Chain A
Amino acid sequence: MSILIDKKTRLLVQGITGGEGSFHTQRCIEYGTRVVAGVTPGKGGSETLGVPIFNTVEAAVERTRANASLIFVPAAFAADAILEAVDAGIPLVVCITEGIPVSDMVVVHNYLKGKRTRLIGPNCPGLISPGKCKAGLMAGEIHLPGNVGVVSRSGTLTYETVAQLTGLGIGQSTCVGIGGDPLPGSTFVDILELFQKDKDTKAVVLIGEIGGTAEQEAARFVKEKMTKPVVAFVAGATAPPGRRMGHAGAIISGSSGRASDKMAALAAAGTTIAPSPAEIGLTMQKVLQKWNANR
């Protein structure tokens, strides 16, 4: 098994005809993802990459029974695209777009209340269940099917981590990039909850970064609810306070949001902290060896 996406996923791409949208849709199709529809207002009725295009998400869902959406719409229009997918009742919406205003996301979160949609992102690389389905930007070939779940606020640091795991022969169940924005659709806790329930996930890698308190909340969840081992790393120990480190959510304000506090909270909750970002794979290898020996 895996979480959120698998062989049954029928992916819709909003913004499929844009440069990034078409490049990455092609990659997803090559990986084996079933891309059933694209949405670009004004281009309905045409076809791109062998995928039928619709003017609205509603029409696309009606015709193709799409059950997940991947959004590449520019920032100024991305919140609208998310709302359209939620309105159409799509259970999983993955928003890649970076740069959505915070106030737009406040409206999106308010709209999501009581709806059946789970939002991943925005400002994220998407997700992949290796060997089954890829709904994101990650290079498929660095992944290996297996039993370690990966959840991260970063994109490229996740690729780095996955490459380390794969290099050691440790496969992944699902890798989820929750994104670097201050108001992510899904939090660490949301995804940890899914990994905890997933039969095929045996351990989890969590990659955090400075800013906010998502790692502290994850630590609380790990301590209270997780029975599976968790390896964690928090990026930004050398980041100066008060500066936004690329991601809109990566900022140390005053004394809160520091990497050291987050790592301390995660360590106290029983997760194993990787000593450096280059040793996340090795740390997981050791944790798995110990875990298997104790069973």
Chain B
Amino acid sequence: MKIHEYQAKSLLSEFGIPVPEGAVAATPAEVKTIAAQLGGKVAIKAQIYAGGRGKAGGIKVANTPEDAEKQARQILGTKLVTHQTTSEGVSVSKVLVEKAVNVQRELYLSIIVATANRMPVMMASEAGGMDIEEIARTSPEKILLEYIDPVAGFRAFQGRKLAYGMNLSQAQIGPATSLMTNLYRLFQTKDCSLAEINPLVVTGNGQIMALDAKLNFDDNALFRHSDIEQLHDAEQEDPLEVKANELGVKNYIKMDGNIGCLVNGAGLAMAVMDLITQAGGRPANFLDIGTVNNTDRVVAAFKVFTTDPSVKAILVNIFGGIARVDVIAQGIVEAHRKMDIRLPLVIRLAGTNVNEGKTILAKSGIKFIEATNFYDAARKAVAAANGEKN
């Protein structure tokens, strides 16, 4: 799960990491008030989940409260298109107003879980302000790594290695080390999947501070962090994904094609998308229906398909294992009873309780195109979406 920069900074602050003075605003008038309170030059930063704000005009600088209000009007309520958003962009409903910082040096600091080493790793670099992948490509020697033993935790000596490694001055070693220790404490306490400060800056008077911040959280751990879960901003997501989630359809991702896909298992769901593409079609979504113990989620999935105007055909591909084919078949029948579904429907069933499932469908009288195998299902769905008769 992602959160906004202003929320991330408030968490950093809570964990003792210095951030610029500032506050979040939803209207130009609020921006003016905050700018007046801060005094002097301020930065106005659009709050969106996607990166690439600066280049897209989502960050402005103002010298007076009046100027700040004027600048805020150009961002608030508009849609920002960055290299990470769709061509439609995302709407900006909040901006972070911060006191401008006199930047002397830009550094990079982050923590992720290194999957190959199966432990967290802190990454630090003198080449701050840039995309870390870009640094990794152009000058990998500039990225310093410290693996964090889960029992020992992040130790002061590791902080010193990184701080000296980034050529910080002697007076900055202590503050930098405690900042890193605090960042790990935050990462650990809140079950982050990414804690990134880019840039971490050294100010004109030698203070070390998080000028930007990005915190992502492990979705699997949200059950024990209701405070974090509350920070979620549904406005930043595709409305269909939000609707699916509300209906209890979890692993749904909107794609740009016209074949609605209902599949069990993430790998199979990806393979179905791959196969549809190979057969000349395009999937309207990724959906792993998961473990189905009742029919509600299947009915909900059909509700999402019928809400999506781009869906021209539905493909159900189920290979029962933990999910039982009969339950899914029952769900398809219920969906047709509850809704007026006129979209062509291609069904391929196999695995646990497949015969029970096929009997349920046969008895229901629902009109559908039966597919005998995986490829057949994709081919028939593509044909159906194109309006061809199978």
Contacts and interface: CB of A to CB of B under 8 A. Distances in A.
B151 interface: yes
B267 A247 contact: yes
Contacts of B322: 20, 24, 96, 125, 137, 155
A151 interface: no
B223 A76 contact: yes
Interface string B320-338: 1110000000000000000
Secondary structure of the B contact surface, majority rule: mixed
A52 interface: no
A268 interface: no
B369 interface: no
Contacts of A183: 113, 115, 118
B273 A238 contact: yes
Interface string B231-255: 0000000000000000000010101
Nearest to B263: A156
Q: What's the interface size class on B, roughly? A: 35 or more
Contacts of A209: 266-267, 270
Contact of B321 (A19, A156, A238, A245): A156
A289 interface: no
Contacts of B113: 102-103, 106, 182-183
A272 to B, nearest CB: 17
Contacts of A109: 118-119
Interface string A16-44: 00011000100100000000000000000
Contacts of A137: 321-322, 352
A193 interface: no
B151 A110 contact: yes
B150 to A, nearest CB: 5
B267 A153 contact: yes
Given A109-B118, A246-B269, A278-B374, A237 B251 contact: no
Interface in B372-390: 373-375, 378
A276 B375 contact: yes
B219 interface: yes
A139 interface: yes
B350 A239 contact: no
A110 B152 CA distance: 11
Contact of B267 (A105, A154, A244): A154
Q: What's the interface size class on A, roughly? A: 35 or more
Given A182-B115, A213-B116, A277-B271, A238 B220 contact: no
Interface in B273-327: 273-278, 283, 286, 288, 290-291, 293, 319-322
A180 B253 CA distance: 17
A234 B221 CA distance: 28
B86 to A, nearest CB: 10
Contacts of B116: 213, 217
B47 interface: no
B321 A138 contact: yes
Interface of A: 19-20, 24, 27, 75-76, 96, 98-107, 109-110, 125, 137-139, 142, 152-160, 163-164, 180, 182-183, 207, 209-210, 212-213, 217, 233, 235-240, 242-250, 254-256, 259, 276-279
6 contacts: A101-B218, A106-B150, A109-B118, A182-B113, A245-B269, A246-B288
Given A159-B268, A236-B273, A246-B286, 12 more contacts: A19-B293, A76-B224, A98-B291, A106-B118, A153-B267, A154-B268, A159-B319, A160-B271, A180-B266, A209-B270, A233-B271, A278-B378
